[in-house]
Amino acid sequence: MRLVLASNNAKKLAELQALFAALPIDLVTQGSLGIDEAEEPHITFVENALAKARHAARRARSAAIADDSGLCVDAIGGAPGVRSARYATLAIAGGAREDMRAMQDAANNRLLLERMDGVADRRARFVSALVAVRSAEDPEPLVALGRWHGTLLEAPRGTGGFGYDPLMFIAPLDRTVAELDAEVKNRHSHRAIASQQMLALMREVWHLG
């Protein structure tokens, strides 16, 4: 069974390929098929993931899977939510992709800390919505939702990871996400939780494996 990943992220591809290794699935990125990225106009992770999965499935004429993820902070109404990657507005455009990403991450963290200044309730969670469809018209999409709970620090800690990882403290691990090595992070993360749910759903509903 061919399954199109509605992303061109090599890391996501490798993670899902490893997870689905036991299933009869040929996982390919939408970019390798010449499929453009879908719009993400919705206000929830699930709706955006579903839109991306249906878009990829329609263009590829096959099954597809997509994820949408971000950070939700209780004290500010669940923000930054689906706008996590572009929470802060950058006036500078252009430059190397990794440099721009680092600048965006830093700006996002600064803005979040400003909005959380003096706020006692610092509960937050990383959220990952993973959606798979057998076709663009599939009436029964598989939906998995992973949540990784933590608290926001008042200053960044750690040099690993990306995004909000330096601010997100995970009490059971006594580390920020940026202080975890990749193996530990991938074993405990919101995406890992959602992926394990999706694996079970594929076996139960799609009868794979």
Give dist(CA 109, CA 87) in Å, integer: 9
Residues 6+ apart with CB under 8 A from 67: 7, 12, 49, 128, 129, 130, 131, 191, 194
Amino acid at 55: H
Q: Is 153 left (phi over 0), alpha (psi -120 to 50) or beta?
A: beta
Catalytically annotated residues: 68
Element (H, E) at 69: strand 63-73
Strand 2-5 versus strand 63-73 pairing type? parallel
Sheet strands side by side (includes 26-29): 26-29, 2-5, 63-73, 123-133, 142-152, 168-170, 175-176
Q: Of 199, 185, 198, which is closest to residue 148 (Cα–Cα)?
A: 185
